[in-house]
Amino acid sequence: MGWAVAVAVLLSASPTFVTKGDVTPEADLRREAQAAWTTLEAQYAAQAGGLPARAPATVTLQKGTSLTPERNAQGRPGVVELRQNTPGVLDARTRTALRHELAHQLLWWACPASSEDRLFHEAFALTVSGELPAWRDGPYQSLSSAAQAVASAPAVDTPRARRGLARILGEHTGFPAALTRRLRQCHDGARWAAPLTVEELADVAVLAPEPATVVVSRHSGEVLFSEGDVRRAVPYGSALKPFLYAAGTVLASPRDVRGSGTSSEAAGRAAPDSNAPPLLAPRRGVQEWACGAGLPPKVDARMALLRSCNGWFLDWEATGLAPKAFGVWGPVLSSVGLTGLPSDMTEAIGLRSAHGLSPWGMAQAYRLLAEARPDVLALLTGNVDEGTLSGLSTSRALKGVATKTGTVRDAASRPQFGWIAAVDADLVAVVVRPGKMPRHFVDELPALLARVRRQAGLDAARVQVLGLLPSTTVEARCAGAGFSLDDGVPRAAPPDFSRLDALTAKGPAVCLGSPWRVRFPDGPDGGRDYAGVFTWSTPPPYRPPPGVPTTPSALKARRGSDFVFRTTRVKYTAGVVAAEDVTLQGEARIALARIAAHNERHADTRHPGRALCDTTHCQAFRGTVRIRPEESRALQLPALKWDTWLTFSQGGDTPWREVRPRSEVEALLGTNLVSLRFESGRVRYLRTEGTPAAPYEDARSLPCDTLRAGLKLPSCPQRASFDGPQVRFEGQGRGHGEGLDVEAAKASPGLSSDALLERAFGARGGASTPTP
């Protein structure tokens, strides 16, 4: 009875198969597809623990018109293309190819998070399609050569790569445990932060160790430098000890970790807490307590971390107070690819190499640690003074850089892998070298950081975003691993869109491995990308100066936003240029990029004491975009000489005419208008005042941009005329007409960015008083 019910459920989840008559017989093809799907679903459900509640989409079965000679089928979501050598005959090869492609279709439906993981897709399809025996035929193949064949073809779309994959899948009997873990992860809704690796699939290290280096931005999270296989998980040694420390301590108060000049010792101490790690006495003659000369009678967690003292961590576990499986940081490490959580302290500190993590995953984890626990990072800056990297010729060059080392040894205590994780104000670097101890290759680190810093604009830029919207309507989603920080404790963000104000309620919101995707009502389809960190920061109330007309929208813009977004300065600059004029190229684009980067450093002229806003009150910014060469070039050039806000507008000379109700104009300027004229960037107007018996005309003026913005005119008008209940405006170009004229810059291809800026601002520097 139970089996009958299960079969009924499975059949109810089957897609509708549609044929086009080009693969025959059609009825047999649909029956074959239905039977194969039922079998595949049963295997998936048995390993994953269930099936999605939603029904699968229609799948079209058709003849392939662009199949390469070695392919019998190919597919994309909703479509399977087949090769049929003899019309009307569904031979064994065609049936096998159909099952293989339907396995992909099933994963696209049941496990969409794995869509970009080609190795996982191919391993699952080979396992469930029944074709493994055929691929295993042939001469003996070693596991290492099979792994190399797979690694050389990441898409696993060549016969050599698939034969190698079949060899790896045959290393163990039964359904591969790695695939079962991944399927259950998908069914449970967990993130697919790291792709399946050959080592994970084979459950052994099968590729020869190779050097790997990766550098990511602390601000945007983007990979700035990568060399070697940075996605390959390898044993991590002591490199994850800071996460044990963070899990076993509480965040020090902000006064202890913010500000300049704080020593690493003072800043690195956690706030007092009854559950703080204990002071422990070294045990003489115990190898794990061989942590350098001059140990005090009692060793605290700080010294144990800097000296990477294994004995202290083992004895901490013996007290029963140490965090298990990295505590609150375990889910973080799992989300970035840790192959398994440690069962005890020997696995956590790398004495036993039971699990691995990729250099990329290590860098992502340290990025979040730096955001959540600045006190731990401050502590780690002491490593070059009194820890595992002290007393070296390069120690002085790493002053102020937080570092942690790790060494993986074999049974003869020879180094298999050396790790260095390093974090400074802007970068997270992870360096892995096979066969070396960290002290033997640390001299590479200063040169690596300097090399990456040759990419200009990697320092932080902050911008108040989305202030024109009600904060409750803004939602965000992380396609990688999203976390909200709650007093230094990472909390996993929901996998789907959720309110950004909730994500930032108690601390920063960080997305590892991907930009945040942000959406809001009436926004662009699919939302916008924001590669960086969100925080909540309520701005002070804004009160317009007396007598200055201000629209509701302008009030919001001048108030600022509750959301502050941090990214790199080059990312911010590229976002501004794209928002202001995506068509700009060459020297004109460089000129605008230099202004955007310059103004980010002059935010006080728009929002005293706070970051710039993302509206035209400051300069438009609609999320992060791909950086173009012009933006990189702009930030490599010298800083601009003008110490003030620099204005720009679309400009141009295209004439325009607009009509506005007189009542709308008088709502801004006051009633009884009798004249309007425009000069020197201001609107000058007369109003009739006084009494009917003794009237007089009162002359007033305002910045022209106040009128332009309030009436939503293309630019500051040149003329205005009264026409009964209406006012007719005439002008040319777009924008307020001050500073750099973008259209004029486009029309000057022979001028350098320096010449364009000098023409726009000259000796006066284009200084402007911000519109109230």
Taking only the tens place, the pLDDT of each residue in 373-420 is 999 999 999 999 999 999 999 999 999 999 999 999 876 678 889 999
Q: Is 26 exposed, middle or buried (0-12, 13-18, 19+ CB in 10 A)?
A: middle
What pLDDT, in 10s, does the model give residues 572-589? 999 999 998 888 999 999
Do the strands 533-536 and 563-568 form a parallel or antiparallel pair, or are they unpaired?
antiparallel
Share of the chain above pLDDT 90, in %: 61
Residues 685, 403: Cα–Cα separation, whole Å:
64
- pLDDT of res. 108: 95
Q: What is the mean pLDDT of residues 268-285?
A: 69
Q: What is the mean pLDDT of residues 717-723?
A: 89
pLDDT band at residue 509 under the 50/70/90 scheme: very high
pLDDT at 682: 87
Per-residue pLDDT for 268 more than 60? no
Query: Is the pLDDT assigned to residue 173 strictly greater than 80?
Result: no
Sign of the dihedral through C-alpha 287, 291, 292, 294: negative
Most confident stretch, 123-137, 329-343, 677-691: 329-343
* 21 pLDDT more than 90: yes
pLDDT given for residue 6 in this prediction: 35
Least confident of 184-198, 324-338, 612-626: 184-198
Handedness of CA 416, 318, 421, 480 (dihedral sign): positive
pLDDT at 733 (0 to 100): 74
Cα–Cα distance, 610 to 561 (Å, whole number): 10
- Provide the whole-model pTM: 0.72
* Of residues 729 and 733, more confidently modeled: 729
pLDDT of residue 412: 67
pLDDT of the residue at 267: 39
3-class SS string, 352-404 = CCCCCECHHHHHHHHHHHHHHCHHHHHHHCCHHHHCCCCCCCCCHHHCCCEEE
318, pLDDT greater than 90: yes
* Mean pLDDT, residues 123-143 taken together: 82
Please say if the pLDDT value at position 7 is more than 60.
no
